[in-house]
C-alpha cells in the first residue's frame, strides 16, 4: 500500500515538474468565438511544444479584468480588446509593444493596423472588423443607389407615397462621420512626428460644416421621421425597416440577424458616394489580439498571435465565427467575395477610418452629438453648434490632461 502511495505521489510530482518546465500561454478569447481558433491552437501546441490555456470572456471587459489579474499573476498572456480601449490601456502600461515584420503587417488592411497603432508603435494584430454599411429592402429598392444625393431624391419620392427612403442616425457622430470625413472634416490633427494631437480638433473645419449642412437637408425636407432623433432613434429606424416602411438604412452587421429574423428580403452594399465623388467613409471598429505587460513569455505570445493570423487559420476562424477578418487576401477570397453581406462590410472596412484610440476621444462624443442634434433639428446653425462643441471638447481635454499630470 505504501509503495502504491509513493508511486502515486512520484507520478503526481513528475506531472507538476513537466508542467513547470513546459511552456504555457493563457489566452483570453471572446465569448462564443474560441471555436474559431481551436485548430490553430492545436497546430501551435504541436509545433512549439506548448500548452495553451484557453478561456472565454466578453472582449469589451478583458482590459478591465487584466488591470486586476495581471498584477496578481493570474492574468492572460494574450487577450482580445476593441481598438477604442487601446489608448487608455497603453497609457496605463497594460500592453506590450509588438515588433512584427513589415510583410506580416502589410498582410492586413491599413485602417485595421492603424487601429492598433499608437504613437507609431504597433500594439496588436487585428482580428475582426465591423463598420457601417447600407442595408436595403430588395422588394422596395431592387438595387442600391450610387450617391447620397440619389437617396435624397428617392426619399422625396417615397415620402410622396407615405413611405420612407433612406433612414440614418445623422444626429449622432458615429453615423454622420462618413460624410464629414469625406468632405474634409477631421477629429484630431497630427503632430509632425505623426502622433495624434488631441488639441487640434477639426469638427468645425469647413468640410465638417459643409457636411452637416448636407445631412441637414434630410431633416429640413421632412424625409426623416421626428422619432429618430435622440437615444431611441435607432430602435425607431429598425422598426420602420422591419415593418417595410423604409427602403434603406445605414446600420452595422449587428442588424443582419434581426432583419433576417423579421423576414426582410434585404441586400447589403458599401455606403454611397457623395457629390464630390468620394465614398462615404465610416468609423472602423476593430477587435485585436494584444499581449499583456505581465506575460512571462512575450516572445512566445507574439509568435502565437502571428501564427493564428496566418491566412489558412483566418479562413477557418471566419467560417466558424462569421466575423469579417481585415486580411487583404480575404477580401478577394470567394468565401467573402461571393457573400454579399460579408463583401460589403469588407470593402467598406478597407476604406474606413479607425476611431482615434487616444483617451481624449472619450471627451468628443457628448459635445459632438449634442451639436449634431441641435443642427439637424434646426435649433442652432451648424457652424455655431460645431464651434461651441469644439470649445467644450477642448476645455474637457485640457481638464483631463491637467488631472493626469
Helix (H) or strand (E) holding 24: strand 23-29
**Are residues 105 and 184 both part of a single domain?**
no
State which residues of the chain have pLDDT below 70.
1-22
Residue 227, C-beta contacts closer than 8 angstroms, at least 6 positions apart? 233, 236
Same-domain status, 303 and 193? no
Please report where in the chains the cell 470572456 appears, as a residue.
57
Of 36, 21, 56, residue with least CA distance to 320: 36
Q: Is residue 294 part of a domain?
A: yes
- Alpha carbon 296 to chain centroid distance? 29
Task: Spell out where 255-354 has E strands.
Answer: 266-269, 283-291, 353-354
Can you give the pLDDT at residue 8?
41
Residue 382 in grid coordinates: 451648424
Is 195 found in the same domain as 164? yes
Does one domain contain both 106 and 154? no
Beta strand pairing status for 188-190 and 121-122?
Answer: unpaired
Task: Indicate whether this model's pTM tops 0.75.
Answer: yes
Quick one: pLDDT at residue 22? 66
Cell numbers 454599411: residue: 133
Same domain, 245 and 361: yes
Q: What length does the chain have?
A: 405
Task: Give the pLDDT score at 172.
Answer: 95
Q: Are residues 228 and 173 in the same domain?
A: yes
Output the DSSP codes for 185-204. Answer: --SEEE-TTS-EEEEEE-TT
Tell me the CATH number at 94: 3.40.190.10
Same domain, yes or no, for 145 and 93? no
Q: pLDDT at position 17, please?
A: 36
In 3D space, the residue among 402, 388, 385 whose CA is nearest the CA of residue 176 turns out to be 385
Q: Cα(19)–Cα(175) distance, rounded to whole angstroms? A: 51
pLDDT at 30: 95
Do 100 and 186 lie in one domain? The reply is no
Which string of DSSP letters, residue by residue, matches 40-85? HHHHHHHHHTEEEEEEE--GGGHHHHHHHHHHHT-S-SEEEEEGGG
Residue 310 lies inside a defined structural domain of this protein: yes
Q: Could you tell me the CA-to-CA distances from 72 to 66, 76, 89 in Å, in that order?
A: 9, 11, 17
Contacts 24+ apart (CB under 8 A), 231-240: 233/169, 233/171, 233/172, 234/169, 237/167, 237/168, 237/169, 240/164, 240/167
Q: How many CB atoms lie within 10 A of CB 195?
A: 14
Residue 17 lies in a domain: no
160 and 181 in a single domain? The answer is yes
What's the confidence (pLDDT) of residue 1?
Answer: 45
Quick one: pLDDT at residue 3?
Answer: 43
- Helix, strand, coil abundance in the chain, percent, nearest 5: 50, 20, 30
Is the same domain home to 220 and 98? no
Looking at the domain assignment, is residue 10 inside a domain? no
Q: For residue 309, give the C-alpha cell.
A: 493570423
**What's the domain range around 116?**
24-44+52-130+284-354
CA quadruple 334, 339, 341, 342: dihedral sign? negative
| Of the residues 339, 354, 369, the one at which a domain ends | 354
Is residue 7 a part of any domain in this protein? no
DSSP per-residue string spanning 73-135: T-S-SEEEEEGGGHHHHHHTT-B------HHHHTTB-HHHHHHTEETTEE-EEEEEEEE-EEE
In a domain, 56, yes or no: yes
Number of domains the chain is built from: 2
Those residues with Cβ within 8 angstroms of residue 198's Cβ, 6 or more apart along the chain or in another chain = 188, 356, 358, 360, 397
- Strands 353-354 and 283-291, how do they pair? parallel
Largest CA distance in the chain: 92
Q: Does residue 216 share a domain with residue 363?
A: yes
Please indicate, yes or no, if residue 2 is contained in any of the structural domains: no
Distance between CA atoms of 250 and 282, rounded to whole angstroms? 11
- Give the separation between CA 335 and CA 332, rounded to whole angstroms: 8
Strand partners, 133: 251
Q: Please indicate, yes or no, whether residues 179 and 298 belong to a single structural domain of this protein.
A: no
Structural domain contains residue 8? no
Amino acid at each position: 500500500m505504501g509503495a502504491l502511495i509513493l508511486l502515486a505521489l512520484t507520478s503526481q510530482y513528475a506531472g507538476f515538474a513537466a508542467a513547470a518546465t513546459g511552456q504555457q500561454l493563457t489566452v483570453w478569447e471572446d465569448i462564443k468565438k474560441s471555436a474559431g481558433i481551436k485548430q490553430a491552437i492545436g497546430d501551435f501546441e504541436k509545433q512549439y511544444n506548448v500548452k495553451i490555456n484557453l478561456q472565454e470572456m466578453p472582449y469589451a471587459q478583458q482590459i478591465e479584468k487584466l488591470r486586476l489579474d495581471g498584477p496578481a499573476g493570474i492574468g492572460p498572456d494574450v487577450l482580445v480588446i476593441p481598438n477604442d480601449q487601446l489608448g487608455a490601456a497603453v497609457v496605463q502600461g497594460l500592453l506590450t509593444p509588438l515588433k512584427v515584420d513589415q510583410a506580416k503587417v502589410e498582410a492586413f488592411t491599413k485602417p485595421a493596423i492603424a487601429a492598433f497603432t499608437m504613437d507609431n508603435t504597433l500594439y496588436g494584430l487585428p482580428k475582426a472588423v465591423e463598420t457601417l454599411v447600407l442595408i436595403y429592402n430588395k422588394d422596395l429598392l431592387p438595387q442600391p443607389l450610387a450617391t447620397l444625393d440619389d437617396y435624397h431624391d428617392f426619399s422625396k419620392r417615397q415620402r410622396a407615397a407615405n413611405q420612407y427612403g433612406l433612414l440614418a442616425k445623422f444626429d449622432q457622430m458615429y453615423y454622420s462621420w462618413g460624410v464629414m470625413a469625406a468632405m474634409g472634416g477631421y477629429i484630431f490633427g497630427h503632430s509632425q512626428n505623426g502622433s495624434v494631437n488631441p488639441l487640434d480638433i477639426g469638427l468645425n473645419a469647413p468640410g465638417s460644416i459643409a457636411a452637416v449642412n448636407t445631412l441637414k437637408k434630410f431633416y429640413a425636407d421632412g424625409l426623416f421621421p421626428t422619432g429618430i432623433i435622440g437615444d431611441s432613434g435607432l430602435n425607431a429606424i429598425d422598426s420602420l425597416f422591419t415593418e417595410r416602411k423604409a427602403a434603406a438604412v445605414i446600420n452595422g452587421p449587428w442588424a443582419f440577424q434581426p432583419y433576417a429574423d423579421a423576414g426582410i428580403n434585404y441586400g447589403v452594399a458599401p455606403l454611397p458616394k457623395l457629390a464630390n465623388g468620394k465614398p462615404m467613409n465610416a468609423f472602423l471598429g476593430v477587435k485585436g489580439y494584444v499581449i499583456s505587460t505581465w506575460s512571462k513569455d512575450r516572445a512566445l505570445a507574439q509568435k502565437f498571435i502571428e501564427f493564428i493570423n496566418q491566412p489558412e487559420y483566418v479562413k477557418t476562424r471566419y467560417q466558424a465565427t462569421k466575423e469579417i477578418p481585415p486580411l487583404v487576401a480575404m477580401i478577394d477570397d470567394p468565401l467573402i467575395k461571393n457573400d454579399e453581406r460579408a463583401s460589403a462590410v469588407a470593402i467598406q472596412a478597407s476604406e474606413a477610418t479607425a476611431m482615434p484610440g487616444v483617451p481624449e476621444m472619450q471627451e468628443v462624443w457628448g459635445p459632438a452629438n449634442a451639436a449634431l442634434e441641435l443642427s439637424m433639428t434646426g435649433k442652432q446653425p451648424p457652424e455655431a453648434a460645431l464651434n461651441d462643441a469644439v470649445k467644450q471638447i477642448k476645455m474637457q481635454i485640457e481638464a483631463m490632461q491637467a488631472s493626469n499630470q
